[in-house]
Structure formats: C-alpha cells, structure tokens
A and B are shown apart, each in its own frame.
Chain A
Amino acid sequence: MTSVRRWNLTSTIVLAVLTAHVLMVIFPFVWMIYSTFKTNREFMRSVWSLPKSFSLDAYVGAWSGGALGGYAVNSLLIMAGATMITVILATLAGFALSAYRPRWLPAVELSMTAAMAIPAYVALVPLVVMLRGAGLLDTHLGVILPTAAFNVPVSIFIMQAFFNTLPRDLFDAARMDGASEWKIFLRVALPIARPAMFTVAIVNMIWVWNDFLFPVVFINSPARKTLPVGLTDFVGEHITNYPVMLAAILIAAIAPLILFVFFERQITAALIGGAVKE
C-alpha cells in the first residue's frame, strides 16, 4: 500500500520526538512496576532508583489481607453477568438493524446514539431509588443490570457494523429455503457472528471491570465491593507503605492489560467500529 520511503532527516526527528512522547506516556507504568520490587525504606530513600534487590514483599503485603482477591471475585461476577446480557441483546439488535432496515430504524439509531451521550450520573439518584424498591441495592445484580444497559447502545453499533459487512444474499438464500427469521438468526447469523460477539465481549469485559461509578454508589457491603472500589479503600488503609500500594494498583490493572495484549486486534477493531457510528 505505502510506497517504499526513503529514510531522511524528517523521519529521524519524528521518530525521536514520538519515542520521547511514548516513553513519557509509558513511564508511570514502568516506574510503578519496578517500584513494587523495592522495600518501603528503599522507596523512601529515592523514588527514582531501580530496586537493588528484587523484593516481593510488596506483593505479599498487597495480597495478605485477602481483600483484593475478594474484590477481584466480585468484579469477575459483575463482569461476567453484564457482559453476557450486553452481548446477547446487542447481537439480536445489531442483526435487526443491519438485516431488516425498516422505515423506523433511523429513530431507533437516533435514540441509541442519544443514550450513548447521556452521562450515567444523571440516572444515579433514580437508579438508587429503583434498585432499592426492587431489593437490588447492594447486590451484584443491582450493578449488572444498569451497567449492561449503559453499554448496550455502543455494543449494538459494533454488532451492526459487523453485520453490515455480510452480503445480504446470505440471509435471502435461507429465506428461499423457507427458514423462519428466528431460524435464520440462529442458524445463519449467529455462527458467523461469533468472532464479532467475542470482540464485543472482550471490550465489555474491560469496560465493566474498570467501571467505578455504579459499583461505588450501589454497593455498600465491603464483601461485595468491586476491585476499583475496594482498591481505593485498600490504598487508604495502607497509606504509609508505598510499594504495597503500587503493587495493589498493579494487581487491579493487570487483567485488562492481559486481555489487551492477547486480543489487541479485536479490541482496536471494536473501538473503531463503536466510534465510527457517532
């Protein structure tokens, strides 16, 4: 695609500037990682320096209370529930938006776009009232349902973008054979959509895992808190041991990073697909 380029002075300067910038972006994480291998005294003596001996005390300290593991399990449950709901609803709706396109579809698209623009905190007080009325306040389900609802619109557009790439003859052929629309969805669309559903699932997992607003407001019991919420408590309690705090932050950040390393292509494709609609 791109013609072979000559390496020149411009390229060298640009490469140098971008490298410096990327290093600035990534350095806080690098610093966080190597600082976790220091002892607290070593950290206090010099914040810059590399660890002299690789001490794993910080990780032991971060994990020893057991709280982080519990928070991670809560995050995992909420992530699984919300992601499952979102993927199912978004696949059904994305298929409908792409395959049928009746006259009223622009109205649906417009309302989904509007829903994406609404900040979640506008709905915060009413959601507390509704969840309390339904007995779902301070439960995992109480976080799962609104979280999924706020992620559904953008997920629909990612699925729609995928279904739009399929030739429509695919479905017409099945119709000629007398398949019902539901059968076409189940037997034709769903098997082909599996990679796209997987993609939507991955990005939703990252979003839900990282979410803070709904868990911090809807959950009070320490035993049901999610990792980002529990982490703020944890850091508050270990205010004097810096490597332990950094190790806890790293533990909380690691799951989405692992997903990103393994599924970079799918994640970037989904982010592009979701944004193009807006």
Chain B
Amino acid sequence: MSAGIGFAKRYNRAAILFLSPALVFVFAFVAYPVAYAGWLSLFRWDGASAPQFLAAGNFVRLAGDAIFWQALFRNILVALSAIVLQVFLALAIAYCLVRIVPAFSRIFLFFYLVPVMVSEICIGLLWRFMYNPYFGLVNAALSAIGLDSLKRGWLGESATAFSAVVVVMSFTYLGLYVLLFVAAVRNVPEGVYEAAEIDGAGEFRKFFSITMPMVWDAVRANSLLAIIGSLKTFSLVFVLTNGGPNHASEVVSTYLYKMGFGSFEMGYAATIGFAQMVLTALGAWIAFRYLKRVGAGAGAWS
C-alpha cells in the first residue's frame, strides 16, 4: 500500500485526535497526581491548615523510619513469594493441565479463576474466618489431623501474621497465572514433544527441557506482572491484618494509608508513596541493566 506524504500527515493528525482523550485523562488522574505527590512530599501538612515547607525533611525522616523500610522489605518478600508460589507453581499446573490431563483443563481452570473474580475484600473477610482461632477452618483442620499443638491465632500473632497473608495472596492470584501460562503452553508445537517422546523423555524432562525454555518469555512477563502486583498490594492486607499486629505485616500501602488518613500526615504519606515509586523504578533500572549484561554474557554461550 503506497501511502503518500499526505496520507502520513492525515494519519498523524487522526492518531493524535483519537489518542488525546485517553492521554489527557490518564495525565490528569495518574501522571499529574504522581508528580503532585513529589511536590507534597516537601511539606508537613495535616490536610487542613497551611502546609509548612520542610525541604528534604520528610525524606530525612523516611530514611530513619524503620517501619517504612520493614514495610518495603515486606513488599519485596511478597514479590519473591509471588514468583515462587504464583508464577512457577502456576506454570507447573498449566503444564499438567495442557499436557497431561487436557480433558479436565477447562473445568480446572474455571475453578482456579474463581478467586481472581471475587473482590479481595470478600476473600479477605472469608479468610479471616478461616484463620479465626475459635471458629476457623485452619485450626479445625489441624485438630482433625491431630496437630492441635500447631493451633494458633494466625493473623493475631506477630510470628505468623505476614506468612498467613502471603498464603492468602497465593490462593487469590494463582489462577490468573495458570490462565496466562495455559495460553502460552498451548502455543508450544506438538511436534517438539513428539520428538522428545520418541527419544524416551518423561514428563519432568519434557517440562524442564521443552516447556520451560519455550515459554520463558511468558515466565519473564508474568514474573514482572507478579512484581508489579506485589508492590500494589493493599486491600488484602488491609482487611486481613491492617498491617498488624504491631506492624508485623505492614506493607508500604497500609503504612501510607495510616499516615495519611489515620494520623493526617498528608505530606509524609505523599513522601512514602513517592519514595517507594522512585526506589522501585531505580531497582527496576538496575535490574534491567544487570540482566542485560548477564544476557549479553550468556549470549556468548548460546
């Protein structure tokens, strides 16, 4: 199709016209507020009286705020757990569904997706019951198999609260990754597996030597999705523990919420959000550069 210069201009103008409503909207309610958060982070402000300029004061406070760093560290733990308990577990499940029991894949996938569709608040409230020390199914199940000594108030104790939340997260989001991997695993050509079968490869061999490498792009994309999701996490933690007890399951979002809308330290709350975003972007940039170098090194071997 030979599009002349007139066409190119016309396309350009049309593209701008069609895109601008969405761009203006996203700029007004996403980009501008984020920049505004950076500006607000320079002030002490209770949301009502006049803001008081602090320069870098909030950032100095943040640097020495152990709760913030612990919360950030927990966000990273959530991300790591998501990669193991959601992404890689989902890949194994997807392989089984597509390759080993394809007749049941549709019905299993449906059930795995049910928690993805229900609101995190409903899931969280439901799991508060599951973990309830008196009426909870978790303790009831432990009793049933004779492990009464392990019974405890899972969400109420510092030692177990965070792990208990991580378990619910895996329960909730696993299905999304199963779905995404089922799509990817289906795209691996059948012939490759047939050749491997002729050579006598078992299911484990086929999974690690064929499926894993051939869907590696999806693994990377889904890991990225899991990391982004982990940094966004709020509702589940809010409804399960609200960061407690004594900050034992605090993540950045719940800490920000408490600072901004519990203690009315709006400036500091903005600082928390802005700093986390900058630190995350920095981390992503370093990881990207490092991975590129590792990738270049690995390229020499392939």
Which A residues contact B (CB, under 8 angstroms)?
Answer: 1-3, 5, 10-11, 14-15, 18, 21-22, 25-29, 31-32, 43-44, 47-48, 85, 88-90, 92-93, 95-97, 100-102, 105, 108, 111-112, 115-130, 145-146, 148-150, 152-153, 156, 168-169, 172, 175, 181-182, 185, 206, 209-213, 217, 228-229, 231-232, 235, 242, 245-246, 249, 252-253, 256-257, 259-260, 264, 267-268, 271-272, 275-276, 278
Contact = CB atoms under 8 A, between A and B. Distances in A.
Contact of A92 (B21, B222, B270): B21
Interface string B12-28: 10110111011101101
Contact of A120 (B174, B203, B232): B232
Contacts of A108: 19, 23
A257 B18 contact: no
A182 B15 CA distance: 10
Contacts of A127: 29, 33
19 contacts: A1-B190, A10-B203, A25-B112, A25-B174, A28-B127, A47-B137, A89-B21, A119-B231, A149-B25, A152-B22, A213-B234, A217-B257, A228-B119, A246-B126, A252-B119, A257-B114, A267-B117, A268-B179, A275-B176
A2 B102 contact: yes
The 7 closest A-B pairs by CB, nearest first: A149-B29, A210-B119, A123-B33, A96-B18, A126-B36, A181-B14, A122-B273
B125 interface: yes
B125 A245 contact: yes
B119 A149 contact: no
A112 B25 CA distance: 12
B117 A206 contact: yes
B22 A89 contact: yes
B162 interface: no
A80 to B, nearest CB: 17
B161 interface: no
Contacts of B140: 47-48
Given A29-B115, A96-B19, A124-B269, 8 more contacts: A25-B175, A48-B137, A111-B31, A121-B253, A122-B37, A123-B37, A127-B29, A242-B129
Given A253-B122, A271-B179, A124 B260 contact: yes
A150 to B, nearest CB: 6
B29 A150 contact: yes
B30 interface: yes
Contacts of B171: 25
B233 to A, nearest CB: 8
Interface stretch (B64-72, B93-101, B289-297): B93-101
Nearest to A169: B1
Nearest to B234: A213
A29 B114 contact: yes
B266 to A, nearest CB: 5
A40 to B, nearest CB: 11
Given A232-B239, A242-B135, A249-B125, A96 B15 contact: yes
